[in-house]
Structure 1
Amino acid sequence: MSRSEYAAADPADPPVHDPVPLIVRTRARGVETLSLDAPERRNALSAALVGELADALTDAGEDTAVRAVVLTHTGTTFSAGADLRDPPAPDALVALLRQIIELPKPVVARVTGHVRAGGVGLLAACDIAAASHTATFALTEVRIGVAPAVVSLPLLPRTDPRALARYCLTGERLDAAEAARIGLLTAAGDDVDEVLAPVLDGLRKAAPEALAETKRLLTARVLETFDRDAAGLTALSARLFASAAAREGMTAFLERRDPEWVV
């Protein structure tokens, strides 16, 4: 697996001082599109990006003109996972995932690039997720000495448990067809916009209150997982990221070598 496929953006990359927002907002016929726009960092989940995305979601949720939200990206990566240079606090990431699930508008993921680690959790939190066949996915946390603790909150209730065990334990890469088979994606196709066209058309035809109440019914089981497990998994994430194994894994990542545990 190449360095670009690991769980996080490289903290050795030069600092980027963004003159523009990290989230680009556009709107068409009641659909608010939020694009993760830090391609030079592979749209890694930094504290800044997580904060801006949370603000954009709040605005969309409160705007009566917005019928649905599309979450997408610029560049070739949807999200590389946690940004090791400017990581969000584990509880901030939990709050973001819960915000997507609780938003009174459907959130639709549109993916045309790679998704790794924490980015997979972001995808799993969305109500509907579609990707092009060029997209790839991996839960790479174990390869740098941590665990997919926080991202498991939306993943466990929504994906095939046997398949999830394989991909969480091995860090293997999977393609869009496999991601759809195990429930990580709703659908995949050669042209993701063609896949999503009838979805967005259907959401535009639905009554806003009916959408909100239907989403509440569909997300109840996921939110039960958050209520039960979020505190413990947040603590686990913080502990593992501070561990000697994580330090070795991240150092190996930066030094372009295998960590010491590889046999």
Structure 2
Amino acid sequence: MSQDLLVEVRDDLMWLTINRPERRNAVSPDVLSGIARAIDQANAERGTRAIVLTGTGEAAFCAGADLQSGKAFVFDYSEPRSGFANLFRKARQSNVPMIARVNGACMAGGMGLLSMCDMAVSSSSARFGLPEVKVGLFPAQVLTVLQHLIGRRKLTELCITGEPIDAQEALDIGLVNYVADDVDQALDALVARLLDKSPAAIRRGLYLMKNIDEMSFEESMAFTESQIALFALTEDAKEGQLAFREKRKPVWTGR
């Protein structure tokens, strides 16, 4: 395994830490492929309840592409798909919740990593931005995962001015769930409210949410009315309803 990405399982959580502080945790091919492999691993192991994505240190969550390398935008044009796009596809298919722990600057491709996650908590000192226009580029792939999170006017402003926003504004526009001086305290509080819920409901629920995102109203209705019956067939659904009637805490099997 490359040291560019640290993978650690802590109880029910899989922690993915971009470990390139000398490059402000800019992405590398090893970072992209490592996150993709870890998502596959987490989805294959029922014991993993959530994936936490963060960066080493306090300066940066992820600064995006490594412009210092001079190879950040060098592609193999014989391949129809790129590494970053493939990672976004992989995250889209994940039924394990992904949480971004934004510990510092979140810029350019880092905004893509943030946006591909299902939820996010941020340090109050973090800053967010899409500065690609400053170097003659545009956050093209990032838009696919970012465009449904925030309003069009603010998105356009971020893209065409390249100017950053602070953590409070990121919270105000819906880019993150929580902002705190102690980012780990906010993360722990969010995770605690996830871990006591049905693993099966969360797994199937994320599958449902991601599939209806681009459906028309009638397509979504047809899909969800079939899915609700499948929710009810799970062991967790039966246990949850029984525990409700018996006025006790449910004991989840995740099935």
Normalised to the residue count of structure 2, the TM-score between the two structures is 0.75
Shift of 1:223: 6.4
Q: Aligned in 2, Cα 1:223/1:27: closer, same or farther, shift over 3 Å?
A: farther
Match of 1:214 in 2: 205
Q: Matched residue pairs, number?
A: 206
1:18-29 superposed matches below 5 A: 21-29=3-11
Match of 1:140 in 2: 131
Shift of 1:198: 2.3
Match of 1:117 in 2: 108
CA distance in 2: counterparts of 1:24 and 1:222, whole angstroms: 31
Runs of 4+ in 1 over 6 A off after TM superposition: none
Q: Please tell me whether residue 87 in structure 1 is matched to residue 43 in structure 2.
A: no
Q: Aligned in 2, Cα 1:63/1:130: closer, same or farther, shift over 3 Å?
A: same
CA distance in 2: counterparts of 1:20 and 1:106, whole angstroms: 24
User: Could you say which structure has the greater relative contact order, defined with CA pairs below 8 angstroms and 6 or more residues apart?
Assistant: 1
Match of 2:30 in 1: 48
1:153 and 1:222 in contact (8 A); partners too: no
Match of 1:183 in 2: 174
Determine helix, strand or coil for the equivalent of 1:172: coil
Match of 1:129 in 2: 120
Q: Aligned in 2, Cα 1:222/1:119: closer, same or farther, shift over 3 Å?
A: farther
Shift of 1:149: 0.5
Match of 1:62 in 2: 44
Shift of 1:182: 1.2
Shift of 1:161: 1.4
2:2 and 2:30 in contact (8 A); partners too: no
1:101 and 1:127 in contact (8 A); partners too: no
Q: Which digits, 9 at most, give the CA deviation of each residue in 1:4-30, with x for residues without a partner? A: xxxxxxxxxxxxxxx952211222231
Rg larger in structure: 2
2:19 and 2:56 in contact (8 A); partners too: yes
Normalised to the residue count of structure 1, the TM-score between the two structures is 0.73
| Unaligned segments of structure 2, at least 5 residues | 76-80, 216-255
Shift of 1:222: 5.2
Match of 1:166 in 2: 157
Match of 1:252 in 2: none
Root-mean-square deviation (CA, aligned residues, Å) is 1.9
Match of 2:97 in 1: 106
Identity of aligned residues (%): 35
Match of 1:243 in 2: none
Shift of 1:87: 3.1
